[in-house]
Structure 1
Amino acid sequence: MTRPSSVRRLQAVCAAVAITAGTLVAAAPAAQAHPGGHCTTPQLEAAWYGDNQARLQQLIDDYGTCNPYRPNRNKPVAVFDWDNTVVKNDVGDAQMFWLLRNGKIRQPAGGDWTGTSRFLTPAAAQALAEACGALAKPGAPLPTGTPEGAGCADEINAVYGTAATRAAAPAFAGWDRRTTEPAYAWLPQLMQGWTAREIRGFTAAARAENLAAPVDAKQQVGSTTATGWVRYYDQQKELVAALQKAGFDVWISSASPQPVVEVWAEGVGIDARHVIGIRNTTTYGGKFTSHLQGCGSVADGADTMITYIDGKRCWINKEIFGVRGAAAEKVQPAARRQVFAAGDSDTDISFLRDATVLRLVVNRNKNELMCRAYDNSDGKWIVNPMFIQPKKQKAAPYPCATTGFTGRDGTPGPVLRGDSSVIPDQTDSVF
């Protein structure tokens, strides 16, 4: 029998080892076999650019369950963006196109489109009313998949896809560019009247179609054609599985609607409880309203804090780390942040910067993101070309020192490091 004093001494030794090992952001020792010989660290096999596979493997080795110090630390968190990070193409787009083709968007109450988004301009509301108003009663689905509904489908698709009407009038105005994107938010807002279960059914149908369609397939939406295919990235699918097997807490944070990403995430083994998408408020019967859940200091229904740039930080802090109130909008101490993050767009900037050990960027030529990734001031950024149909090298340098950053009001400016120094223009070198 172990004496109580011996137990206390053993606990003290373990505590000292934990302090030496540090928090999740401290340098961890190299992976070793479990004392019982039953722990095998997952090994990545898919092809990656340069030394990215080695860097990712080191993350798994250092922070996985086979590391002998892991039992004394919190479970490491990894967060992935979804669209064009884990899959090729955008599942939100796929969902919108499916809804339009199948007539699943409802006529707004009273035919007043301003109720679908607080940021919709009068010009856009009028254009939508003129194109769609005579086609269905308020609350009834619009026949956007029929010839008579093609004009309505075209107007909705233009507002969603270009943030402008078919007549080129701005469709949205007055939003904070660092916490929301009205066109992204408009998709779940147009799902008003359906339940999450019904939306998941629509998504399952859209997913099956897009996975079955050949690469580069197009689909008819209204009177125009749109992208008609989606593919999972094999490398990311393997990485997610390896992280999970190694004991990481793996999450998705996406600016696509919550039930849509839930369905798609099943394809990489991530359950709905580990998905953070744009979330609608609901009626007593569970039907979606045109308003969105809030985060931080933003109340439900304010519709101004979605999973977008700083909004992604807020939602990650809230849902993964349990931070409540306005504090969720702030950068948290290192021990309450993800060790790994992956993204492809400026929409992912904040949660990528919050990652404490490694940040994977899929290069889609997005200015602010690539400025920070190529600057790599702390050595924690890695860049990989798109895994399917990678973009060609960007001819001109990224305008980091002048216009690479977009302010809250949309004003462009220089991209700044954490110490407020200006990042110089960067050359595109990973493609």
Structure 2
Amino acid sequence: MLAWTLAAAAALAAAPPTTPSPHRNCPRLSGVWHGDNRARLQQVIDDRGTCARGDGDGERPVAVFDWDNTVTKNDATDATISWALRHDRILRPASWRATSEWLGDTAAGALTAACGTRVPVGTPLPTATNARCADEILEIRETGRTMSGAAAFTGRWNHRRTVPQYAWVPQLFAGHTVAELSAYARSARAEALAAPVGSTRTLGTHTVPAYVRYYDQQRDLIRTLRRAGFDVFIVSAGSEPVTEVWSRGVGVDAAHTVAIRSVLDRHGRITTRNQGCGGVPESRGEVIPYVDGKRCWINQEIYGVRGAAAWQRRDAGHRPVIAAGDADTDVTFVGDATGAHLVINRNKGEIMCRAYDDADGRWVVNPMFIDPLPRRPGRYPCSTSAYTAPDGAPGPVRGRDGSVVPDLADTVY
């Protein structure tokens, strides 16, 4: 990390001075970014922020950020699951099979065998001491497979609208109130921010990150955007109460935080169902803010589009100016941005193919600000398998004109 930071700082110092902005009232970004990325983002802020107009008239420009591993290093939802497992906060369901639309009999049997039936339904499972139970839950969450290697989820789903193990996270907290889950997230947040950078912990046989950090550069970017008149939103495939706890740390309130929204029962407790989008009604996970689902939730919750139209790419005046993500789950909404597509490089196939193809010259790629990955060997398989179709089949990444994106090398690391 130190070597990259010093190299980046030297490159920044050696870069030719940029032309002074005519928009002197626009706030300025700070911090070390890769190459000329800071200057490029600043130019978008100068050109598109309300600070450039000076009168504040008209609609505010929109910026949208993914959360986990985009604004933070490591996953806030995983930190909450880790804390919950170590503090016996997962309640035993009446049926593991019923927690998800796609959880198969094999996985349900594995969870029942590992977690047992000794505690009554609706009471906490002893996951702090039952390593087998914690292991099964973590393995299904992380890989979509049981500890034996069997597929945990079966059946069909739209792979560009949901992924069962992501939807399963808020379903694991069924029976709790939103206030309770928020309290768990606050405790997990305090613990993760206090843990040393690079630290890990062991849960069952799993080694998981013990720490989470806000990226200083992203915190500064969000603060600068808001001062420049942008309406800044977080759109995440995590559980909304958890994401809301973390987004407050960068000044984004609950009204500007969109994630998986659980349906509550008449007592205000979380159920295994979540709210729908784009004309799809509430379900057990069919539509979450995931790949094309993120576009749907942005159109619906930010721009007020209802029904099937929320799945469509809108005109340039009704899309985010800046969008930031780190993974293929973000590729659609990041690609929709009209000013800058900011990608934090975690070597994810489709989004990196689109970023390095840079079809409109607006893709901004930055290494992770903490412990960046080394250069990916070889080339991304853009021309063959980096795209995931709705039925889950791999295929080539194509441009908006239908042309196939060639295989591309990793150049920003």
Q: TM-score, normalised on structure 2?
A: 0.93
Matched residue SS, 1:67: helix
Aligned to 2:29: 44
Check 1:114–1:64 CA distance in 2 against 1; reply closer, same or farther (3 A cut).
same
CA distance in 2, matches of 1:72, 1:193: 46
Select which of 68, 75, 78 maps to 2:63.
78
CA distance in 1, matches of 2:93, 2:37: 48
Matches within 5 A, 1:343-362: 343-362=325-344
For each residue in 1:130-171, what CA deviation from the matched residue of structure 2 results, as whole angstroms up to 9, or x when unmatched? 11132411111101012xx22111111111112111111001
Select which of 130, 133, 140 maps to 1:152.
133
In 1, are the aligned partners of 2:100 and 2:284 still within 8 Å (CA)?
no
Q: TM-score, normalised on structure 1?
A: 0.89
Ranges in structure 2 where 5+ consecutive residues have no aligned partner: 1-20
Select which of 187, 196, 215 maps to 1:233.
215
CA distance in 2, matches of 1:346, 1:223: 28
CA distance in 2, matches of 1:239, 1:126: 47
Aligned to 1:26: none
Identity of aligned residues (%): 52
CA distance in 1, matches of 2:372, 2:196: 17
Deviates more, 1:215-224 or 1:314-323: 215-224
Aligned to 2:23: 32
Matches within 5 A, 1:156-195: 156-173=137-154, 174-195=156-177
For each residue in 1:175-231, what CA deviation from the matched residue of structure 2 results, as whole angstroms up to 9, or x when unmatched? 211000111111101110111111110000000000000012122323543211101
Letter in structure 2 aligned against 1:97? S
Matched residue SS, 1:107: coil
Matches within 5 A, 1:77-156: 77-109=62-94, 112-146=95-129, 149-156=130-137
Q: CA deviation at 1:403?
A: 0.6
CA distance in 2, matches of 1:336, 1:60: 17
Matches within 5 A, 1:28-427: 31-33=22-24, 40-68=25-53, 71-109=56-94, 112-146=95-129, 149-173=130-154, 174-427=156-409
Matched residue SS, 2:369: coil
What is the Cα-based RMSD across aligned positions, in Å? Answer: 1.2
In 1, are the aligned partners of 2:272 and 2:284 still within 8 Å (CA)?
no
Q: CA deviation at 1:51?
A: 0.9
In 2, are the aligned partners of 1:52 and 1:382 still within 8 Å (CA)?
yes
For each residue in 1:8-52, what CA deviation from the matched residue of structure 2 results, as whole angstroms up to 9, or x when unmatched? xxxxxxxxxxxxxxxxxxxxxx6435xxxxxx3111110111110
Aligned to 1:24: none
Letter in structure 2 aligned against 1:303? G
Letter in structure 2 aligned against 1:300? E
In 1, are the aligned partners of 2:26 and 2:45 still within 8 Å (CA)?
yes
In 2, are the aligned partners of 1:199 and 1:260 still within 8 Å (CA)?
yes
In 1, are the aligned partners of 2:200 and 2:208 still within 8 Å (CA)?
yes
Matched residue SS, 2:332: helix
Q: CA deviation at 1:324?
A: 0.7
CA distance in 2, matches of 1:31, 1:84: 34
Check 1:248–1:229 CA distance in 2 against 1; reply closer, same or farther (3 A cut).
same
Deviates more, 1:230-239 or 1:126-135: 126-135
CA distance in 2, matches of 1:236, 1:170: 36
Structure whose CA Rg is larger:
1
Q: CA deviation at 1:70?
A: 5.8
CA distance in 1, matches of 2:355, 2:118: 48
CA distance in 1, matches of 2:22, 2:235: 28
In 2, are the aligned partners of 1:31 and 1:62 still within 8 Å (CA)?
no
Letter in structure 1 aligned against 2:333? F
Matched residue SS, 1:225: strand
Letter in structure 1 aligned against 2:253? D
Check 1:408–1:133 CA distance in 2 against 1; reply closer, same or farther (3 A cut).
same
Matched residue SS, 1:71: coil
Ranges in structure 1 where 5+ consecutive residues have no aligned partner: 1-29, 34-39
Letter in structure 1 aligned against 2:101? R
For each residue in 1:28-86, what CA deviation from the matched residue of structure 2 results, as whole angstroms up to 9, or x when unmatched? xx6435xxxxxx31111101111100011111111222213763432000000011100
